[in-house]
Structure 1
Amino acid sequence: MNSAKKIVLAEDNSMLSMVLKFRLEKEGYKLLVAADGKEALELIELHNPELILTDIMMPFVSGLEVISHVRNKLNLQTPIVVFSAAGQEKIVLQAFDLGATDFMTKPLSPNELVLRIKRLLR
């Protein structure tokens, strides 16, 4: 199953990470899970995933810094879906300015996420 599309998930909530990993692997994706932005950048550079899912608020390196690094340092056009708690419009706009592809408000629906991923990876 080497043809499985790789997704890096950067999420510091381990319960949410487990749920999303289970749900997305059931759909046939290979998930590489990072507990923080620093680990996410290492996984992105090592595995060159087809898609990146990132929370905004994380320890060490924020989701915004992940987007900036992917777009400006690595010069990758990899789709990036950002998660954030509701009511953070300024941060969401900043994420899009940096190059985020899509945004979802937490708590998020795993089924909706699957649909968005399928659309982005067509």
Structure 2
Amino acid sequence: MNDPRLLLAEDDEMLASLLRYRLEKEGYLVEWVSDGRAMKESLERTLPDIVVSDVLMPYFSGIEMVDYLRNEIKSSIPVILISTAGNETNVLNAFELGADDFIAKPVSPSELMVRIHKILKTRVA
């Protein structure tokens, strides 16, 4: 897959900057949004190859985004959720709605890269 498009939804600007740098260095075309409203607007314009989203986003949460993708627009694009709220209920709810992966903060950029590569590799195979 050449230049995969990734939507990064993260309201922590420092973390988003770090992740965006690493993702772009790995060859991803990254669109960064800082709130759920911008995330939903981006998804309505065009679907990326993968979404990495914080669960606790203003206006439209990462969990609501998974529900929107899977149940409203019937998209199966991969979604990785990240959150400080890594309690069992949130994790199970995310997977039940159709999230592909869940990473608790603090996020290791290297771990995120491995998970993204794995998900995209299985989608292409």
* TM category, shorter: over 0.9
Match of 2:32 in 1: 33
Q: Does the C-alpha gap of structure 1 residues 68 and 87 become closer, same or farther in structure 2, counting only changes over 3 Å?
A: closer
Q: What's the TM-score, normalizing by structure 1?
A: 0.94
**Structure-2 residue corresponding to 1:77:** 76
Q: Which moved more, 1:96-105 or 1:39-48?
A: 39-48
Gaps of 5+ in 1: none
What letter corresponds to residue 7 of structure 1 in structure 2?
Answer: L
Asked if 1:111 is matched to 2:110, the reply is yes
Give the Cα–Cα distance (whole angstroms) in 2 for the partners of residues 86 and 46 of structure 1. Answer: 29
Task: Quickly say closer, same or farther: Cα 1:99–1:19, change in 2 above 3 A.
Answer: same
Query: Partner letter of residue 68 of structure 2?
Result: H
- Alpha-carbon displacement from aligned partner over 1:78-108 (angstroms, at most 9, x marks no partner): 0100101155211111111111000101001
CA distance in structure 2 between the aligned counterparts of 1:36 and 1:110, rounded to whole angstroms:
21
TM-score of the pair, normalised by structure 2: 0.92
Are positions 1:66 and 2:91 aligned together?
no
| 1:18-74 Cα shifts (integer Å, max 9, x gaps) | 000000000000011110111111112212101011111111111111100011111
- Matched letter for residue 40 of structure 1: M
**Counterpart in the other structure of 1:89:** 88
Structure 1 stretches of 4+ moved >3 Å = none
**What is the alpha-carbon root mean square deviation over aligned residues?**
1.1
| Structure 1 stretch displaced more, 58-67 or 37-46 | 37-46
Counterpart Cα distance in 2 of 1:11 and 1:68:
18
Seen in structure 2, the aligned counterparts of structure 1 residues 108 and 77 have a Cα distance that, compared at 3 Å, is same
1: CA distance, partners of 2:110 / 2:26: 10
1:5 equivalent to 2:36? Answer: no
